[in-house]
């Protein structure tokens, strides 16, 4: 019989074996120090059959940046059920328990990356951000000097080397930008260890993680993390640059970093898998079509405490709207709420007032980071306008100047 329980630190090896097998990974011969350090056993839900761990859902305690704020969230990870026990409802039981636990801990939302896009909608998750991938033929694409102020790049200098050498500089830039970009996540020392862990297993055939810093005098204004892959074919060099993340404080620093990344000798392609939908690169090049852009789903968000979540973010224009939210999985999380907000403050409280808009939790969650519009979700039939005009007035308030950006898979 399958039973469910929290994990202990001693479960790590069994849990890890299940995860690696479920994700079809070869777990042979690896140390798992970084993963072990991140494991939060008291937050994990296990399914156990006899003495075998046959199911796991994990939660990391981190902060998520949202429009105009930063809030604690449950970062959902490593959802896995043994092949022998699938399609019997184990994942559903564990994921529902997990959401209740996240709410009881006072976190307003859960966030995850989905291995497959069809899994999480049924649990009230909405696709809250998208990723824009780039596969750039660097002989065809270049930065177009007419599109930026070259003079601003003159005072900047670049410094490149193994990423580990620049860990503190990178961390400072990241912390500076983190609250400003919805979708960014807090990174303590353990998360930086994980991000910069450079085992061959992480490399996918490429070399060790490199960093390039952009500086103005002693001030670091941005960095990029990337890897090289050396390759040759009959026509000569065919190397690749795989960009992991580019974070910059100023537009000039961003431009200088991409100028560097697009001009590495002996390379032919530059890839960025987890780019932002509003990645400035697409507005800086001679021909955006040459960037090989492709859209995919990014962060999936699930609100579990609607008043707490909606009052924690900010709204670019005044909003005063009554929302009726249906929640089939956690009915007591739904209800009718009055949201009042502006760029500086927001409140959201249960109300008996007549609703203006009706939507379900997954739809509200998809809107939460500002990465989708009310208009688009309404066109998909996911929002019901109960008060004429409410869609038009509420839509701009739920947007945000920067698109949410999930920078890393966790």
The answer to whether 4 contacts ligand ACO (rule: CB under 6 A) is no
Please state, in angstroms and rounded to a whole number, the distance separating the CA atoms of residues 61 and 74. 6
CA atoms within 13 A of residue 254's CA, in its CB half-sphere:
17
The answer to whether 90 contacts ligand ACO (rule: CB under 6 A) is yes
Task: Tell me, rounded to whole angstroms, the distance of Cα 244 from its chain centroid.
Answer: 13
The answer to whether 59 contacts ligand ACO (rule: CB under 6 A) is no
- Name the one range near ligand ACO by CB under 6 A: 61-69, 71-79, 368-376, 379-387: 71-79
Please state, in angstroms and rounded to a whole number, the distance separating the CA atoms of residues 337 and 355. 8
Host H or E run for residue 189: helix 189-196
88 is in an annotated binding site: yes
Q: Which residue from 8, 100, 115, 199 is in contact with ligand ACO, where contact means CB under 6 A?
A: 115
Q: Which residues contact 117 (CB under 8 A, 6 or more apart)?
A: 127, 297
Residues 13-52, one symbol each (x = binds ligand ACO by CB under 6 A, - = not), give ---------xx-----------------------------
Residues belonging to the active site: 120, 410
| DSSP character string of 158-170 | EEEEEGGGGHHHH
The answer to whether 77 contacts ligand ACO (rule: CB under 6 A) is yes
3-state secondary structure of 147: helix
> What single DSSP character describes residue 77?
E
CB of 30 to ligand ACO, least distance (A): 19
Per the listing, tokens 């990029």 go with 224
Which is closer to ligand ACO, CB of 89 or CB of 145? 89
CB of 379 to ligand ACO, least distance (A): 24
Which is closer to ligand ACO, CB of 257 or CB of 366? 366
89 is in an annotated binding site: yes
CB of 142 to ligand ACO, least distance (A): 38
Which is closer to ligand ACO, CB of 44 or CB of 390? 44
> What single DSSP character describes residue 396?
G
Beta-strand ranges (E) seen in 99-217 are 109-113, 126-127, 130-137, 156-162, 210-216
The answer to whether 91 contacts ligand ACO (rule: CB under 6 A) is yes
Judged by CB under 6 A, the chain residues 92 through 111 that form the site for ligand ACO are 92
The answer to whether 128 contacts ligand ACO (rule: CB under 6 A) is no
Please state, in angstroms and rounded to a whole number, the distance separating the CA atoms of residues 248 and 266. 26
8 Å CB contact between 153 and 256: yes
CB of 84 to ligand ACO, least distance (A): 11
CA atoms within 13 A of residue 312's CA, in its CB half-sphere:
23
CB of 116 to ligand ACO, least distance (A): 4
79 is in an annotated binding site: yes
The answer to whether 86 contacts ligand ACO (rule: CB under 6 A) is yes
Please state, in angstroms and rounded to a whole number, the distance separating the CA atoms of residues 146 and 142. 12
- 196: its two tokens: 């910069």
Annotated binding residues for acetyl-CoA, written as ranges, equal 79-81, 87-92, 115-116
Residues in touch with ligand ACO (CB under 6 A): 22-23, 76-81, 86-92, 112-116, 118-119, 122
């Amino acid at each position: 019989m399958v039973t469910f329980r929290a994990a202990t630190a001693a479960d790590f090896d069994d849990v890890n074996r299940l995860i690696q097998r479920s994700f079809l990974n070869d777990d042979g011969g690896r140390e798992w120090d970084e993963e072990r350090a991140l494991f939060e056993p008291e937050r994990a839900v296990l399914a156990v059959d006899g003495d075998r761990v046959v199911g796991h859902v994990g939660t990391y305690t981190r902060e998520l940046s949202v429009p105009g704020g930063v809030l604690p969230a449950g970062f959902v990870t490593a959802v896995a059920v043994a092949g022998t026990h699938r399609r019997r409802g184990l994942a559903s039981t564990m994921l529902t328990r997990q959401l209740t636990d996240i709410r009881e801990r006072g976190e307003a939302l859960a966030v995850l990356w989905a291995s497959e896009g069809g899994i999480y909608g049924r649990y009230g998750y909405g696709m809250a951000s998208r990723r824009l991938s780039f596969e750039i033929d660097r002989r065809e694409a270049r930065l177009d000097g007419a599109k930026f102020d070259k003079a601003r790049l003159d005072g900047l200098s670049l410094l490149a080397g193994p990423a580990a050498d620049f860990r503190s500089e990178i961390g400072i830039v990241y912390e500076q930008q983190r609250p400003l970009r919805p979708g960014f996540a807090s990174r303590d020392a353990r998360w930086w260890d994980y991000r910069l862990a450079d085992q061959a297993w992480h490399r996918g055939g490429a070399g060790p993680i490199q960093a390039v810093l952009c500086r103005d005098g002693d001030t670091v204004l941005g960095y990029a993390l990337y890897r090289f892959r050396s390759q040759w074919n009959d026509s000569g060099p065919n190397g690749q640059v795989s960009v992991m993340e580019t974070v910059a404080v100023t537009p000039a620093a961003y431009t200088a970093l991409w100028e560097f990344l697009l001009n590495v000798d002996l390379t032919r392609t530059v890839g960025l898998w987890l780019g932002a939908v509003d990645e400035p690169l697409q507005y800086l090049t001679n021909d955006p079509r040459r960037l090989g852009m492709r859209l995919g789903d990014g962060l999936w968000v699930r609100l579990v405490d609607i008043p707490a979540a909606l009052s924690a973010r900010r709204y670019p224009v005044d909003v005063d709207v009554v929302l009726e939210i249906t929640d089939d999985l956690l009915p007591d999380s739904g209800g009718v709420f009055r949201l009042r907000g502006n760029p500086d403050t927001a409140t959201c409280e249960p109300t008996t007032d007549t609703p203006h808009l009706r939507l379900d939790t997954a739809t509200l969650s998809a809107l939460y980071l500002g990465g989708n519009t009310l208009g688009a979700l309404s066109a998909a039939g996911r929002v019901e306008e109960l008060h004429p005009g409410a869609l038009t007035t509420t839509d701009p308030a739920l947007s945000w100047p920067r698109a949410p950006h999930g920078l890393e898979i966790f």
